[in-house]
Amino acid sequence: MTDYKRVIAVISDTHVGSRYALFPKKFKTEEGNTIHLNRGQEQILEYWHEFWRIADELKVDTVIHLADALHGLNRKEFGGGLLVSSLDEQKEAFIELMTPVIKGRKFAMLSGSQYHESLDTRVHLDLCHRLGGYYAGLMRNIKIEGTNRVFNIAHGTGGDTIYLSTALDREGLFIRLAESYKKLPHIDLVLRGHIHKFLHIHLETLHLVQVPCFMAYEPMKFTIKNYGRKQPDLGGVIILIDKQDRMTIHHFLMGKAPRISDNIQTI
């Protein structure tokens, strides 16, 4: 087996607090109420544990979370679709999930969509500090220690994208153009979340990766349009960097997204 200098797991869009997303089993609120998961959430939690079993086998040394860690308060729908309506409890649930998987590993996280943040505090900054990680803000170019590789990481924008390859390819085109004018350093890998889909474009000198999520389909006005297109991919990405600084990027899609809101009903 090839020896790797660095092995990095990348996840995104855990949306802890939503009825349709990842959440710990038998989580207890401050008052002692126990939160029970629906069947779809139990499946997502199994996918979560399976991904980290793979990460352990591959000896992951670093974890990057591309944000939307929590679902937030869903103010637009008065808290509809939430499993817990307290940001503090969502934070505690996220920390319960993340603490065992980042133990002994470097950890970094960005800020995500404003809708899933807070109006009063920077949720992801607080989570990073509590987990002892590196807070990367909205976007960051990070050099991977011990290698010559530079990653451009951001949560991403644009929820109405139809053709993912168009958006990512365009991103790569303008990055390379800016590099040619010496406006940017050389970037080897672009990582984005937000869309809840997986895609990997490998150009001659650049990788662009759309990272999947840990959330089932959620019924909202903008997800009903192009319903088939809005079906999510669940899982994560693991990047292996060998002694020659060559990158191998593996996606681990953990299985079909469970049907929670749109399971077939007989009437």
Q: What mean pLDDT do residues 1-26 have? A: 94
The separation between CA 68 and the C-alpha centre of its own chain, rounded to angstroms, equals 7
**Residue 46: closest CA among 249, 216, 222, 232:** 216
**Residue 18: closest CA among 158, 251, 220, 235:** 220
- In one letter, which amino acid is 16? V
- Averaged pLDDT of the chain: 92
Q: What is the pLDDT of residue 145?
A: 98
Report d(CA 87, CA 78) in Å as an integer.
Answer: 14
- In one letter, which amino acid is 201? I
Q: pLDDT tens-digit profile of 27-79?
A: 999 899 999 999 999 999 999 999 999 999 999 999 999 999 999 887 777 66
Q: Is the pLDDT of residue 225 over 90?
A: no
Q: What is the pLDDT of residue 87?
A: 93
Beta carbons within 10 angstroms of residue 169's beta carbon: 14
Q: What is the pLDDT of residue 174?
A: 96
pTM: 0.94
Q: pLDDT tens-digit profile of 167-223?
A: 899 999 999 999 999 999 999 999 999 999 999 999 989 999 999 999 999 987 667
Q: Is the pLDDT of residue 141 over 90?
A: yes
Higher pLDDT, 256 or 225: 256
Q: What is the pLDDT of residue 70?
A: 96
Q: Is the pLDDT of residue 117 over 80?
A: no
The separation between CA 206 and the C-alpha centre of its own chain, rounded to angstroms, equals 21
% of the chain residues with pLDDT over 90: 77
